[in-house]
Structure 1
Amino acid sequence: MIRKFFNAFVFTILPLFILLAQTYTIEQYLNIRSASNPTISPDGKFIAYLTDVTGTNQVWKKGLTSGCPEQLTFFDERVQFISWNPKDKYWILFGKDVGGNEHTQLFLLKSDGSEIRRLTYKDDVIYNFGAWSNDGVMFAFTSNERNRAFFDVYSMNIKTGQTKLVWQNDGNNSVVAWSPDNRYIVVSQNRSSFDNDLYVIEYETGKVYNITPHSQPARYFSVKFSKDGKRIYLLSDEGKEFVGIAYIELPNGKLNYIFNTNWDVETFEISKDGKYLVFVLNVDGYSEVYSLNIATKRTKKLNFPAGGIVGSLRFTPDGSKIIFTYQSPVKNQDIYYYDVKSNTCVQITQSSTAGIPQSSFVEPKLVRFKSFDGLEIPGYLYLPKNAKKDSSLAVIVSIHGGPEAQELPRFSALYQYFVNNGYVIYAPNIRGSTGYGKTYASLDNTTKRKDAIKDVAMIPEFLKSTGYINPKKIIVYGGSYGGYMTLAAVTFYPELWAAGVDLVGISNFLTFLKNTGAWRQRHRMAEYGDPEKDAEFLKEISPFYHVDRIKAPLMIIQGANDPRVPKSESDQIVESLKARGAIVEYLVFDDEGHGISKLKNRIKAYKAIVEFLDKNVKNK
């Protein structure tokens, strides 16, 4: 009798114990899928989108309300974007590079997958898609074919293949809209991440108008034409601390705001009848979706999913639905539609979690700490389930790239893996991040860079105060600019860190500004400084010149084809560290660029990171 009771007890409790104690491999986490970049067929029956089911983003198609997903492209290389012809349901435009080199080439894809036509043929040139003409016969794009430092504006007729030079200009130009009557093309000319101008080009005459003359840095983006083509709606922060919704009457009217508040508007779409806008508000990183009646200026909050990030808003041709993407820290990204009439949402794609239960994922807490000068720094703290305040846990401080970007409550398979394996993650928005106003975003510009590094140096003390963290097990981690911050942290505050992980990071601003892609140099100088005028300061804040200070073990990962932060940035600091006998592990991927996009490479890279951190920090 006792034996029967014992057996029943064991077999009842054991499965629960296994579930509670279950961990999953890094390979499983990296096989969690996502869907993105939805584009709608002109008859409204299908969406095409990108998903990484095969290991890199490829084009897939699915019925809007029914049917199974169908794969349309089968490349080893990633597809970067897609756009369905607005008038011809049989053709989809997409862009693809090779090995992460960002030399995007343009292609037409038949919507049943039966044919692919290459439209551009110079593999050392970048072709950036802009917008379709309203009749779907042409599209506008920019190219740096004439001069690698500048992007001229072109149009291409997809029926004849004929290309027309619309505007030759020595600027960093991108096409952002084409008017409904095909009369105007709107072009954005970027000087920095926080300053650009909009130009209207009369397509037939070539006459050009600057419609956003201004004296102080300002942004103008997300341009949409009104239904009658007489005005454009756009997002801007001209004269404002936060990004709001505005309009400009064409061809040369003034900027007029119709919505502004103390958070940034991230994106918006115009209803098919032209009477209202639907927009996404960034509230402390989380998305809130509203409609705005253009005539009355009244707003109404819509019943979109909460607690995460909404993007890629698209109205269906009949205006009855809004296609969008959604993800949260505990939900991998998928595509949905919002039914305007019923105020409800339906999930369209079903991306796999690779057998890992969603219930195992961890929601972060939004927490703030005060930096050296009293400035409040927000960030997301991910704690393992059942974490105890016994000062025992290793923590990864994850610094986002950019720097003109924002850490958001998005889904990160890597974060979830580490938290599931007993690490804490803290992902802050140090000064210079977007989302908290124009002033906050400018607090790290040029000679203020040291203040942002000090923000990172304040994080260990804050983390120790939570009671969860072992002070000897604090790791700094980041990619691109976050990679620079990793190197800067272990260089200028060496006693704080147990290890560092740098992915495609800047080690020397002088060589970086010399060797980054020609089209990026002036843009990056506006953020970091002039290598001639600011040479001494750039040298002072470049880790490469202070390698002797580094004490923490480092892992560095680099793509050989990176046009943004060239491989030489990693090569030179690794060579210097090795010459000193420092602990450094270096992984280079010959078929990657600015980041790791291919699944096989991601598995190799992140397995190496896990083993490096477990060996040098967690299990030490």
Structure 2
Amino acid sequence: MAANARNQVTGDHPRTGSLRPSPVGENLVDGMPWRPEEHGPAPGVPGAGGHDRTVVVPPPAATAPVQVPLPDTAAPLDTPQPLRSHGCWYPSVDPSGGYVAFICDRGGVPQLWTGPVGGDEVHLLDSDPHPVKEVAWSPDGRWIAYTTAPGGGEHTRVLCVRPDGTGRRILAGAEPGSSAHLGCWQHDGRAVAVTVAEPVLTPGGADGEEGAAPTGPGLADPDTYTAPRPAGWATRDGRAVLLGGPHHGDAGPGSGRDTEIPQPHGAGMPGVHDRDGGAPARERTSGGGLAAYLVDPLGVAAPTLLAVERGAATLRVCDLSRDGRLALLRRGPRGRREALVVRTGDLRTTFALHVADGDPWIGRFSPDATTLWLRSDAAREFAALFAVRLDAEGESPGLTVAAERGDCGLELLALGHDGYTAALAWNVRGATELEVTSVSPTSAGQARVGPSRTVSLPHEVVTRIPRVDGHAGLVLALSGSQRRPGVWWFPEGAARRTAWSSRDEDAVPPGRPPVRPVPLRPVARDGLPLSGWYYRAPDRGAGEPAPCVIHLHGGPEEQERPVFNPLYHELLGRGLDVFAPDVRGSSGHGRSFVDADLGTGRFAAIEDVAACAAHVVVAGLADPRRLAVMGRSYGGYLVMASLVWHPDLFRTGVAACGMSDFATFYAGTEPWIAESAAHKYGHPERDRELLHALSPMTRVDALRVPVLTVHGEHDTNVPLGESEQFVRAARERGLRAELLLLRDEGHDFLRADSRRLFRRTAADWLQRHIAE
């Protein structure tokens, strides 16, 4: 298909400040000013692939962020009594390299903290009870931007605060029904990029009826209690959940040659759709949209629009060139992410390339913006480091693979402030191998990488690389099977744990050391190699078959890693073994494995669960009479599906935040989540029959065993009704079924007391059904 890099990202300028020159008050249509009052509504614009493009002009009030001042947190900076075992993660380092802003749950909920790299004095910068999700210190050191999730739900806000706790304000996401996501900072620190998801208006948008809430934590009765629903939840029917809008054609590297973006393996299978992951424009209905802005933390300059997308499941500004001419965006649904280079002067897309799922910070521009360093798996099985050459117009005359490995993928990419030092984290069978190297373009336009040095790690997994150079050398967020998540720094190459990170001996109570898992390699019933980690309960004999919990991760693109999991530790302490496999659809094993569950491949993913259970039984590890299955999110779906597809295999199941019926899931989830899910699970209209066949509720008559479901009351990713209807159906069939409702939680259980209640309730349930 002919490449056409134009008009991939387009929109208006409802508010334009001094951050980037552009015609004030004018919309751009195909790069030219368009005044509706003079010319009427913006016309369709021919797009790539021959589809008509509709220029989207969102109402300014619905998209442009409005700042909301908040009380300062500068005085007093009290440190609450810390948890004995706490986690520190998502660090961001100030320009001096001497201080770190990070997320820590030492107060019982993930909050924003700062502390010196080499000292132990820490300060709480935001004492609100809303969980913090991401953190970014500005390049000039004056601000710390971060996202919070009010109520623990899926709607997030972007805030900023001075490092001393003053000037705290909401930058975006304060409008009812909207959500905002953090992007990168401008290199001079004058503005930060945010993406705003507009609220979706639905007909008859009354809230669902609410029953009496339980007076305290514990099991809720789905027959008498219904948590508050988002506006319009009860009226959505699966038709108005996608974001809608223009249909995007293929965009090539912007060189003018006929080039196709490499497609994921499995194209043409049921449930695999065109690149934008949704229906053709005539089948889509207008809803919300995504708009990316540059926002001045001081509020002096009005927000500047960078991009508008309708029909994009994600839109994140990952980097800006130092001269401000170019922006690197990441867009698209799961499995079909794209990197876009956009000229900020006219909002033209000059380059597009498929990029891998996983870490959203996909790349950086070189200091002179002649090279884009990009983490991508375009036309590859595993992600590698790409060097994309860029000309003065931001278009690419070509690209090369600068660093690669044949049997594993590049998971994290970070570049130093100098632009010529890079940290490359490779995912090697679940563990991280880290190397620091030099990167530079050559006079011939080719990339040069190396020499490199390997960094010896005290943990198995690197989760974030906030700094690669400076006097601190290297700063990493790490996690491992024996330790809680923490922040480490490497002065002169020696690994040192920050004093405010949890000590190794505090990971678990005294007398119960963590269990180091061992890898297993099951084989699926169709011959596909699988993998997983087996945790053996302490003091169990080598030849003694054990009661075993098959635990299934979410995503499905997540991956089981050898990191300490308090849930597993709780189960092991009850005398239960745990096997945590990667069934097809998981990441870390190549692109073909991730795509192997698309369409009808999801039936095979359900069979993979049975194959994993059979493997641990045949290996003599697990007792076939005492097996249970457990999982959260997509793993919760697999629990329900496994119980009804294999009713005699497991004694019980624990399903947290799982989808029980794809039709009701699509009807109730967030629009941008539905947009992304359409590629992975199937389109709610075109694949209705497939989704019906894959839904556990369709086969619930086969359920034979008791089941515990767990759900956050504010979950709008997988709505609470998904657990309620499965429990209700089980009870109607005379089975014991319970719902544990976690107050003030969303899809992720973020509060320490909620996680503790979840672990203990689930462990009690499983011990009762398979340990005795």
TM-score (norm 1): 0.90
1:531 aligns with 2:684: yes
Which of 277, 281, 293 pairs up with 2:426?
281
* Aligned residue type for 1:194: G
Amino acid at match of 1:183: R
2:179 maps to which of 126, 132, 139: 126
| Maintained 8 Å contact 1:488/1:542 | yes
Does residue 372 in structure 1 map to residue 525 in structure 2? yes
Per-residue CA deviation, residues 127-178 of structure 1 (Å, 9 max, x unaligned), is 1111111111111111123766421111111223522223233233221111
The corresponding residue for 1:312 is 464
1:137 aligns with 2:164: no
* 1:347 aligned partner: 497
Distance 1:358 1:37 in 2: 30
In the TM superposition, 1:580-595 aligns within 5 A as 580-595=733-748
Alpha-carbon spacing, 1:589–1:322, altered in 2? closer, same or farther (3 Å) = same
After superposition, the Cα gap between the structure-2 partners of 1:380 and 1:486, relative to the gap in structure 1 and judged at 3 Å, is: same
Residues 76-130 of structure 1, C-alpha deviations (whole Å, 9 max, x = no match): 22111111111034x2112112112222112221212244222232131111111
Contact 2:553 2:559 in 1 (8 A): yes
Give 1:522 shift. 2.4
8 Å contact from structure 2 (residues 576, 767) kept in 1: no
Q: 1:78 — aligned with what?
A: 131
Higher RCO (Cα < 8 Å, 6 or more apart): 2
Contact 1:391 1:464 in 2 (8 A): no
- Specify the alignment match of 1:303 in structure 2: 455
In the TM superposition, residue 297 of structure 1 has moved relative to its aligned partner by: 3.2
Runs of 4+ in 1 over 6 A off after TM superposition: 216-220
Aligned to 2:665: 512
Query: Aligned-pair distance for 1:382?
Result: 0.6
Query: In the alignment, what sits opposite 1:15?
Result: none
Contact persistence 1:44–1:316 (CA under 8 A): no
SS of corresponding position for 2:152: coil
Output the aligned Cα RMSD. Answer: 2.2
Could you tell me which residue of structure 1 aligns to residue 403 of structure 2? 259
Give the residue type in structure 2 aligned to 1:234: L
Residue in 2 aligned with 1:175? 317
Find the counterpart in structure 1 of residue 749 from structure 2.
596
TM superposition shift of 1:379: 0.4
1:248 and 2:388 correspond = yes
Write the deviation string for residues 184-215 of structure 1: whole angstroms up to 9, x where unpaired: 2221221x222122222332x2231241257x
* Structure 1 position 350, deviation (Å): 2.7
Alignment partner, residue 758 of structure 2: 605
Using the alignment, how far apart are the partners of 1:454 and 1:235 within structure 2?
A: 33
Distance (Å, rounded) in 1 between the aligned partners of 2:89 and 2:705? 38
Separation (CA, whole Å) in 2 of partners of 1:543 and 1:40: 46
Cα distance in 1 between the residues matched to 2:600 and 2:550? 24
Equivalences for residues 98-113 of structure 1 within 5 A: 98-113=150-165
Instruction: Identify the residue that residue 335 of structure 1 maps to in structure 2.
Output: 487
2:296 to 154, 157, 160: 157
Check 1:359–1:259 CA distance in 2 against 1; reply closer, same or farther (3 A cut).
farther
The amino acid across from 1:257 in the alignment is V
Matched residue, 1:577: 730
CA contact (8 A) 1:287 1:306 kept: no
User: Quick check: which one's helix share is greater?
Assistant: 1
8 Å contact 2:574–2:767 — kept in the other structure? no
2:674 pairs, out of 518, 521, 546, with: 521
Paired letter, 2:748: G
Q: Shift of the alpha carbon at 1:390?
A: 4.6
Q: State how many pairs are aligned.
A: 584
Give the conservation status (yes or no) of the 8 Å contact 2:292–2:306.
yes
Secondary structure of the 2:538 match is coil
Structure 1 residues 320 and 559, CA gap change in structure 2 (3 angstroms): closer
Contact 1:35 1:50 in 2 (8 A): yes
Of 422-431 and 348-357, the range deviating more from structure 2: 348-357
In structure 2, the CA distance between the partners of 1:468 and 1:492, relative to structure 1 (3 Å rule), is: same
1:149/1:520 contact within 8 Å kept = no
* Contact map agreement 2:474 2:490 (CA 8 A) in 1: yes
Structure-1 residue corresponding to 2:117: 64
Q: Which moved more, 1:418-427 or 1:297-306?
A: 297-306
- Is this contact kept in 1: 2:430–2:588, CA < 8 A? yes
Contact 2:343 2:350 in 1 (8 A): no
- Tell me the distance in 2 between the aligned counterparts of 1:602 and 1:346: 29
Quick one: distance in 1 between partners of 2:534 and 2:729?
Answer: 34
Gap regions ≥5 residues in structure 1: 1-29
1:591–1:134 CA distance, 2 compared to 1 (3 A): same
Letter in 1 for 2:438: N
What is the alpha-carbon distance in structure 2 between the residues aligned to residue 293 and residue 178 of structure 1?
A: 21
Partner of 1:19: none
What letter is aligned with 2:338?
Answer: D
Q: What is the CA–CA distance in structure 2 between the aligned matches of 1:559 and 1:57, rounded to whole Å?
A: 16
Q: CA deviation at 1:606?
A: 2.1
C-alpha separation between the residues in 2 aligned to 1:46 and 1:582?
A: 55
C-alpha distance in 1, partners of 2:692/2:616?
31
Moved more, 141-150 or 153-162: 141-150
Q: Which amino acid aligns with 2:119?
A: S
Q: 2:336 aligns with which of 172, 186, 195?
A: 195
The answer for the alignment partner of 1:14 in structure 2 is: none
Distance in structure 1 (CA, Å) of the matches to 2:324 and 2:473: 26
Summarize the Cα distance change of 1:368–1:400 in structure 2 as closer, same or farther, 3 Å threshold: same
CA contact 2:531–2:583 (8 Å) conserved in 1: yes
CA contact (8 A) 1:272 1:319 kept: no
Aligned counterparts of 2:487 and 2:641: Cα–Cα separation in 1: 38
- Alignment partner, residue 21 of structure 1: none
CA distance in structure 2 between the aligned counterparts of 1:391 and 1:458, rounded to whole angstroms = 21
**Counterpart position of 1:16:** none
Secondary structure, counterpart of 1:73 in structure 2 = coil
Matches of 2:199 and 2:323 in 1, distance apart? 29
Equivalent residue, structure 2, for 1:432: 585
- Distance in 2 (alpha carbons) for counterparts of 1:58 and 1:131: 20
Alpha carbons 2:334, 2:357 under 8 Å: kept = no
| SS of the residue 2:589 aligns to | coil
More strand per residue: 1
d(CA) in 2 for partners of 1:61, 1:382: 35
* C-alpha spacing 1:354/1:223, structure 2 compared with 1 (3 Å): closer
Change (3 A) 1:78 1:500: same
Take 1:607 and 1:311, find their aligned partners in 2: how far apart are those partners? 27
Q: Distance in 1 between matches of 2:481 and 2:353?
A: 40
TM-score, L = length of structure 2? 0.72
C-alpha displacement of 1:306: 5.2
What amino acid does structure 1 have at the position aligned with 2:679?
Answer: A
The answer as to whether partners of 1:309 and 1:327 remain within 8 angstroms in 2 is yes
Residue identity matched to 2:293 = Y
Are the equivalent residues in 1 in contact too, given 2:178–2:199 (CA < 8 A)?
no
The amino acid of 2:590's aligned partner reads G
Cα deviation digits, residues 406-438 of structure 1 (max 9, x gap): 111111111122223311110001111111111
Instruction: Pick which of 322-331 and 139-148 moved more.
Output: 139-148
Gaps of 5+ in 2: 1-82, 201-286, 441-447
Kept in 2, the 8 Å contact 1:221–1:234? The answer is: no
Seen in structure 2, the aligned counterparts of structure 1 residues 156 and 506 have a Cα distance that, compared at 3 Å, is: same
Using the TM superposition, give the Cα deviation of residue 378 of structure 1 relative to its aligned residue in structure 2, in angstroms. Answer: 0.6
Mark the CA change 1:193 to 1:417 in structure 2 (over 3 Å): closer, same or farther.
same
In 2, Cα distance between equivalents of 1:460 and 1:145: 44
Q: Does the Cα contact within 8 Å between 1:303 and 1:344 map onto a contact in 2?
A: no
CA 1:458–1:146: 2 relative to 1, 3 Å: closer
Deviations 1:265-293 (A, max 9, x none): 11122234433421101000000001233
C-alpha separation in 1, matches of 2:635 and 2:725 = 18
2:654 is paired with a residue of what secondary structure?
Answer: strand
Question: What residue identity is the alignment partner of 1:370?
Answer: V
Secondary structure in structure 2 of the residue aligned to 1:551: coil
Identity between Structure 1 and Structure 2 (%): 25
